[in-house]
Amino acid sequence: MPMKMEIWPGRPYPLGATWDGQGVNFSLFSENATRVDLCLFDGQTGRQSACITLSERTDQCWHCYLPSVRPGQRYGYRVYGPYDPAQGHRFNPHKLLLDPYAKQITGQMLWHDHHFGYTIGHPDEDLSFDTRDSMAGTPLCQVADPAFVWGDDRRPNIPWDKTVLYELHVKGFTRNHPKVPEHLRGTYAGLATQPVIEYLQRLGVTSVELMPIHEFLDDRHLLDRNLTNYWGYNTIGFFAPTVRYSATGELSEFKTMVKTLHSAGIEVILDVVYNHTAEGNERGPTLCFRGIDNASYYRQSPIDPRYYMDFTGCGNTLNMLHPRVLQLIMDSLRYWVTEMHVDGFRFDLAAALARELYEVDRLSAFFEIIGQDPILSQVKLIAEPWDVGEGGYQVGNFPVGWTEWNAEYRDVMRAYWKGDGGRTGHLAYRLTGSSDLYESSGRRPYASINFITAHDGFTLEDLVSYNEKYNEANGEDNRDGHNHNLSWNCGIEGPTDDPEVNALRRRQKRNLLASLLLAQGVPMLLAGDEIGRTQQGNNNAYCQDNELSWLDWHLDEDRQRLFHYVRRLIALRQEHPVFRRKHFFQGRSIAGADVKDIMWLNPDGREMTTQDWDQEHRRSLAVFLGGEVLGELDAHGKQMTDDNFLLLLNADHEPMTFTLLKLNGRTRWQIVLDTTTEDGIGRPRHLRGGSRLTLGPRSLVLLREHSNHQEVDDEWSLLSP
């Protein structure tokens, strides 16, 4: 028998289910609904225990207060209104709906035709109306208890110029980790264990960027192929951490993970998907937003509201033009900062959030609101600056205060090191923070998030091992994934026992990693690249929740050596501010200095001319970085200085001899990095300015000006014996 309970009017705000220590306030926005029912479910049996018609409606929010309800209560909604797809309305009270503001979502989605608001198989499916109840197999919302002892937890507040990002998947990172207790592998708790924390600290990364942890769904078509939406870019709950990564099912587990990482000095950044939802296009399921108020939540075609405007390639686009949808996203962001203590966000397909009508508007309401928000304007904001709509590629066009994944950097570095000609001019911009993209708008070098690889595409190991993608395991006949990978297999496709090919691949990885961690801007490392992780040529492993995606922690000598090389690169970057400047280079000296802050040099030691930059065949160049002319202040207001460095790059297949820069007859250069060696450590040689140094094919060398009057060489070769 349904239970009887006391029902009070409650309040319209806050939206969602809010426990105040005595009872729970429920509030749901729907502009076009005619009736809203709150359904309560027994936690033991899963059966519906009560159905309450919300009689209170304030500012288009339907609400009540239940003094007898406690945290842990499971619930959902049924929403009544017109079913008129031609006018953009798709209400269907036969479908149990999730609360968009749910802090916890429990239960597994068991797909069935009854989850769709229309009748599958009907002659005009999209205009039909399905009367089957969808309760069976639908996840439920759960009232959350926000209590947690944060103690003295505080955000690490790593300055952008000292930030080293590390993109990882919560499950895949620890699923096979031998030192993480088995019952914690693949969970938030597993990420907070001592072996993982120590690994991150040893590596030297400052900020973990977690791939989506908002509650998401596995697409029905993937489950039919025994696959899942492993990456998680299919959100259905913007406030709830997905339970699939939880060892306990409690909110406190996620909070403990954040607190533990903070205590180790590591920031937590969330990859968030506010551009679309898991409900897909007009033929998708009715699970939440579509059934609550389709016309408000989704961008619809102005010609025929039956169809969606799709700027995401996922079937729908959230309607950022509606104030309540904008409020939903802002409330979600503030919740994750204030209640869950995260340190920032990476916005998936962020250009979709900036579309006012059709055009991308970088001063849209979304960015204006974040820019003036006293909470959100102070956390790290990272844009994936594109979507799939017309004009959606917006690298360099986001507002001050935002950083961007710099795809220009990725493509130039890949092309240069695979040996493509005519890239040195672009290379110079990318190595120095991409001033051509960011300086004119008043942004700094750290607006550029530099990356060679990310979750989407080849891993670093595969980038140097495959010319083609191999995505057959995804079940889409290898049609999915990028075809323009700018990869090079070094002579043989895939794994090989050829020692020369493997040596070249190892050197190419060292070249790419050095280019990443010695460039101006903020480096982002894909988890596992530092230990040679492979996806066997799959460049779109979004549905591979298996050994193909999980990190392999059994490290042979080569993989351990690569880890220590990356660790050393990060330490070198952090030790020397000349590699992480807060301002762009000016190409000139400053008061009291007799050298420029940067000089671009030919291999013969001459400064580059316009004609030199235009040479299509050029694949070698040198850059002088003037550490003694930083022209920047430290945290205490004192002028910063650093060593002078000389970076030599040779992407040619032939050796190249460089004449080392000579500064006022006093220069001594010490080799500190040499990618021709297996550990990447430069041989302990000192060379005088004006002497010659021969680099091997496809190699990089970093030298530091050295004041020690040790014996020096006038010529030295780094060619492998």
- CA 614, CA 621: separation in Å to the nearest integer? 13
- CA 404, CA 397: separation in Å to the nearest integer? 9
Measuring CA to CA, which residue among 346, 230, 354, 239 is closest to residue 288? 239
Residue 417 half-sphere exposure, CB side, CA atoms within 13 Å? 31
> What is the enclosing helix (H) or strand (E) of 499?
helix 499-517
Q: Are 74 and 108 in contact (CB under 8 A)?
A: no
Expressed in angstroms, the distance from the first to the final Cα of the chain is 85
Classify residue 267 as left (phi > 0), alpha (psi -120 to 50) or beta. beta
Quick check: helix, strand or coil at residue 428?
helix
Q: Which residues contact 487 (CB under 8 A, 6 or more apart)?
A: 414, 418, 458, 462, 463, 464, 466, 467
What are the E-state strand segments in 376-420? Answer: 380-383, 403-405
Question: Alpha carbon of 661 to those of 372, 570, 598, 621: distances in Å?
Answer: 48, 26, 12, 12
- CA 347, CA 212: separation in Å to the nearest integer? 10
> Which residue has tokens 């679309």?
276
Q: What are phi and psi of 213, to 5 degrees?
A: -120, 0
Burial pattern 496-524, b for ≥16 Cβ within 10 A else e, equals eeeeebbebbbbbbbbbbbbbbbbbbbbb
Active site residues: 348, 384
Measuring CA to CA, which residue among 721, 670, 231, 162 is closest to residue 446? 162
Classify residue 520 as left (phi > 0), alpha (psi -120 to 50) or beta. beta
Quick check: helix, strand or coil at residue 346?
strand
Q: Are 429 and 435 in contact (CB under 8 A)?
A: yes
> How many Cβ atoms from other residues are within 10 Å of residue 1's Cβ?
4
- CA 567, CA 198: separation in Å to the nearest integer? 13
Quick check: helix, strand or coil at residue 403?
strand
Q: Which residues contact 587 (CB under 8 A, 6 or more apart)?
A: 596, 597, 598, 599
Q: Are 319 and 305 in contact (CB under 8 A)?
A: no
β-bridge mates for residue 693, sequence order: 658, 716
Q: What are phi and psi of 690, to 5 degrees?
A: 95, -10
